A and B are shown apart, each in its own frame.
Chain A
């Protein structure tokens, strides 16, 4: 099974698959306007895609570098507030807001990493937990910028200063960024930096002996993870158009970890699958079921149970189920052949 996994993953150029995935997702607004699916489905799917971007960054950190961050939500929240401040309060263009709102959290991430990553990898988890809480406190207390508990608003993005997007347009922008991030991730993990990260995670001794600067690469992967979190935050802000402190709590960071554990560590498609399960299933299915739908916190129970089951049966994530399905299919097929022959 392992060797098959390589064949599929390593030698394949998945650009066309990613593009196809993007095109299919882009058809959703059309289905909404035709009345085939509910209006609210677009919001659910958009947030799933945003969380996919964030989770892809975390997967680079967890799956490839073997580090854990518990500050994902904080950095994402920081992205939302920054872009809201820059576009709504300062009236500056969306593109500039995007760059600054990704760069500033990245800088703070690097500073956090500079301090915590020098000793041992797992100090990052503690440091990011602290940073995340500090950020949330900032969102509450600095109310002259953040409006405190009442939250902050922003508009749909205006591209290049004249192209005002609507809800559907912003959704397409999110799809575009997701596909872009998928392509970037795929390229990175299959280049020398990706191999260096994997080596570092597998054996620090081998990594240093091969000339890989462990500290530098830990910092690098954390900076990328933070950048993707902040990018997710920016997109969230301009789609949902509203942010408030309690949206960026530890629970969200843990849910994004759950996306990776459930979907698939070290897998791009697994991350997307995980995001659809963790952020999609509770909204789209659980809430509609009788009895279960009325239980408060059914989503938490669902995710908790799922994590236990996945770790028991698919420790590398549900995405690996496809190999089992394929194998069973092949077995059935071969049996049929034998009977015939």
Chain B
């Protein structure tokens, strides 16, 4: 395990295959503290697979994923249980919003702090002091985040039936509940219109600055990525194409070929 002084996440020689298909092939990159890092690539490049490997939804065949946890220790995430990661300071959102229709907006956000609840089952059955204290404290925090996103007017409504842009914000709010070190966003701008995308860019920048965390995101929308990310990693067919600043990536020939195709003679 090498030096990770300024690094938060280090993906090392990551590979995973589904049957004969190598979805991710010997991929390495790292993310610095307080950085917005973009992972781009054409459809089927393996971006979401990389995410799922980092968050342990998939178990990679090879490679290491080192992460500097809440406590400052560096741990290899490979082999950890999916539900253990949030406690280490790593949280994610989903491409197809995964919110619970039967719960209200604020309840959905409160689920983001699930591991902070310590009241026993007995305590919850009779809603004793500890349960009430925890509920109040965490509900208040959820309401503050929702308020920050301008969603306090809908906090007690059910999630079912809310517009898409609002759902994205609720999911983001849920991810913020435990003050994560690294937030992983899977296509945050997908399905949003221009003004919603603009507002999302601002929110993400704000989150990074105010909460002192790093953000890793997958995105198709190049304009969105270029305007937001400090560094970008471009991949195709599971292999690394280039890592660099948005400008460097835009000028990279291999990236252009992957995205626009090669000019035939």
Contacts and interface: CB of A to CB of B under 8 A. Distances in A.
Contact of A211 (B102, B103, B115): B115
Interface of A: 2-3, 5-7, 10-11, 183-184, 187-188, 191-196, 198-199, 201-203, 205-214, 220, 266
A5 B81 CA distance: 36
Given A198-B100, A206-B98, A191 B135 contact: yes
A198 B99 CA distance: 10
B17 interface: no
Given A192-B135, A193-B121, A211-B85, 19 more contacts: A2-B158, A3-B161, A11-B156, A187-B125, A187-B126, A187-B131, A192-B114, A202-B98, A203-B98, A203-B99, A206-B100, A209-B91, A209-B98, A210-B174, A211-B83, A211-B87, A211-B115, A212-B111, A214-B83
A208 B157 CA distance: 24
Contacts of A7: 156
B156 A211 contact: no
27 contacts: A2-B160, A5-B158, A6-B158, A184-B125, A191-B124, A192-B114, A195-B110, A198-B103, A202-B100, A202-B101, A202-B102, A203-B98, A206-B94, A208-B57, A209-B82, A209-B83, A209-B85, A209-B86, A209-B91, A209-B92, A210-B91, A210-B114, A210-B115, A212-B83, A213-B81, A220-B121, A266-B102
Contacts of B57: 205, 208
Interface in B74-118: 81-87, 91-92, 94, 98-104, 107, 110-112, 114-115, 117
A196 B114 contact: yes
Contacts of B174: 210
Interface string B115-143: 10101010011110001001100000000
Contacts of A208: 57, 81-83
B55 interface: yes
A60 B99 CA distance: 20
A341 to B, nearest CB: 30
Given A6-B104, A187-B126, A193-B121, A206 B135 contact: no
Contacts of A191: 117, 119, 124, 127, 131, 135
Given A187-B124, A211-B114, A205 B94 contact: yes
A10 B103 CA distance: 9
B135 to A, nearest CB: 7
Nearest to A186: B127
A266 B101 CA distance: 13
Contact of A203 (B100, B158, B161): B100
Give the 6 A-B residue pairs with the shortest CB-CB distance, closest first: A206-B98, A202-B100, A192-B117, A208-B82, A211-B86, A211-B115
A209 B124 CA distance: 23
A187 B94 CA distance: 30
Nearest to B174: A210
A194 B99 CA distance: 15
Contacts of A266: 102
Contacts of B87: 211
A188 B114 contact: no
B69 to A, nearest CB: 14
Most A CB contacts (10 A, CB to CB) among B91, B107, B157 go to: B107
A204 to B, nearest CB: 9
A241 B188 CA distance: 62
Interface in B44-86: 55, 57, 81-86
Contact of A210 (B104, B111, B126, B131): B111
A5 B254 CA distance: 55
A6 B157 contact: yes
A192 B84 CA distance: 17
Contacts of B98: 202-203, 205-206, 209
